[in-house]
Amino acid sequence: MENTNSKALFERAQKVIPGGVNSPVRAFNSVGGSPVFIKRAEGAYLFDEDGNKYIDFIGSWGPMLLGHADPDIVDAVRETALGSTSFGAPTKLEVEMAELITSSVQGIDKIRMVNSGTEATMSAIRVARGFTDKNKIIKFKGCYHGHGDSFLIEAGSGALTMGQPSSPGVTEGTAKDTLNADYNDINSVKELVEANSDDIAAIILEPVAGNMGCIPPVNGFLQDLRALSDEHNIVLIFDEVMTGFRVDFEGAQKVYGVTADLVTYGKIIGAGLPVGAYGGKKEIMEYVAPTGPVYQAGTLSGNPLAMAAGLTMLNKLKNNPDVYEDLERKSARIAEGMTKTLEAHGITFSANRVGSMIGLFYCEGPVTSFADANRTDKELFSKIFHGMLKRGVYLPPSPFEAFFLSNALSDDDIELTLNAFEETIEEISIKN
């Protein structure tokens, strides 16, 4: 596969952009090799700067649920842009967006638009702290909530009462207010709550973890978190930046029948434009400025292009519930096909799937926590990634990312993908 142009661009990029990329995973560091530079995309396909075509399993890391360059979304953006790209004053589109979400998703009385998932989670914990007048938050090992300082914290020694920065530049002061629990282990959460009696403002989690592969909540986990939060006056935050409008139009809250106090969104809600949002219970959301004392603002928040794209996307999803059935069928076919191939070649693996989120782990199952996910054979993953890439299938370039399917995938695309997988696994098995 020709990659001269991508390579040349990567050379240029590395001189002027840290690592040549604007977000680390794009650099292919965890799989090796040189990243592919994308020129354009349409439906289920990416086209790179060398003219190669790939079946896309990243979908821009989530937003492209309906495939790339959806004509309705492109039209909405184009038409809106003709009336200017930003005003810094309220618009009808923002009202329509908020009305659509609050009227269709349980537990969201009010919602505030921001510009990314990171901003949404940062703002949500600030509001939770302001509302409860408490300081600490509990998050889970292996969950990702963007790059806000409060989330770049890992469990250190004395993990029961404080965390430690996982990135230079994050202060000890910030770290002392973030605690790390084990995903799917309610006792680890209870211990933290007990050890920090009255100072837990929020528990935040991905209701289906999607940033350590795909790990669904075990039976009762979300319900137990709900009960524990109620008992201790803790704000329960579901970070649905990935799962929102993907696992169901109403997100994981609907799938698992648990309503959070606050929910954060991103990705699909902006249809590929930079958007995030946080919303939830009226009494908590009214704590946000200008109604309440908790400050949060944004020059480009509720941007008209982003709202036009997002609103078009959400309306399309809401009016075509078949999308979710189609995605379920396609995803099941892919997961089953890959499973069969791996079994046939005697490769140890464990597969998790929730709707169109698929996580393949190359280790013994079940995989229910970050410790489990970490046992995946990363070297094998890299080989599979490159085997698929050279056969025209673009998987997420990290062993800890779920595949993101789009409904633009045709049955032929799925067939091609499964054949590429079969060939890749065969090639790897022969070499070993």
- The minimum distance between CB 25 and ligand PLP, in angstroms, equals 10
Among 36, 41, 234, 241, binds ligand PLP (CB under 6 A): 241
Separation between Cα atoms, residue 432 and residue 428, nearest integer Å: 6
3-state secondary structure of 201: strand
- The minimum distance between CB 121 and ligand PLP, in angstroms, equals 6
Other beta carbons within 10 angstroms of residue 212's beta carbon come to 27
* CA 406-407-408 angle, 5° bins: 90
Which residue, 241 or 425, is less far from ligand PLP as judged by CB? 241
Q: How many residues of this chain bind ligand PLP (CB under 6 A)?
A: 15
Among 206, 248, 372, 401, binds ligand PLP (CB under 6 A): 206
Q: Which stretch binds ligand PLP (CB under 6 A): 178-186, 203-211, 359-367, 375-383?
A: 203-211
* CA 12-16-22 angle, 5° bins: 95
Site for ligand PLP in 125-184 (CB under 6 A): 144-146
Separation between Cα atoms, residue 359 and residue 400, nearest integer Å: 8
Q: Are 222 and 216 in contact (CB under 8 A)?
A: no
Which residue, 394 or 421, is less far from ligand PLP as judged by CB? 394
Q: What are the φ and ψ backbone dihedral angles of 46, each rounded to 5 degrees? A: -105, 145
Q: Which residues contact 406 (CB under 8 A, 6 or more apart)?
A: 43, 44, 56, 59, 64, 65, 66, 67, 68
Q: Are 421 and 337 in contact (CB under 8 A)?
A: yes
Q: Is 116 in the site for ligand PLP (CB under 6 A)?
A: yes
Torsion of CA 325, 328, 329, 333, to 10 degrees: 170
Q: Which stretch binds ligand PLP (CB under 6 A): 116-124, 126-134, 197-205, 352-360?
A: 116-124
Q: Is 401 in the site for ligand PLP (CB under 6 A)?
A: no
- Catalytic residues, by residue number, are 144, 239, 267
Among 3, 121, 123, 184, binds ligand PLP (CB under 6 A): 121
Q: Is 242 in the site for ligand PLP (CB under 6 A)?
A: yes
Q: Is 400 in the site for ligand PLP (CB under 6 A)?
A: no
Q: Is 6 in the site for ligand PLP (CB under 6 A)?
A: no
Q: Is 272 in the site for ligand PLP (CB under 6 A)?
A: no
Which residue, 115 or 259, is less far from ligand PLP as judged by CB? 115
- The minimum distance between CB 146 and ligand PLP, in angstroms, equals 3
> Can you read off the two tokens belonging to residue 338?
């890959």
Q: Is 70 in the site for ligand PLP (CB under 6 A)?
A: no
| Residue 229: exposure state from Cβ atoms within 10 A (0-12, 13-18, ≥19) | buried
- The site for ligand PLP (CB under 6 A) is made up of 116-118, 121, 144-146, 206, 210-211, 239, 241-242, 266, 276
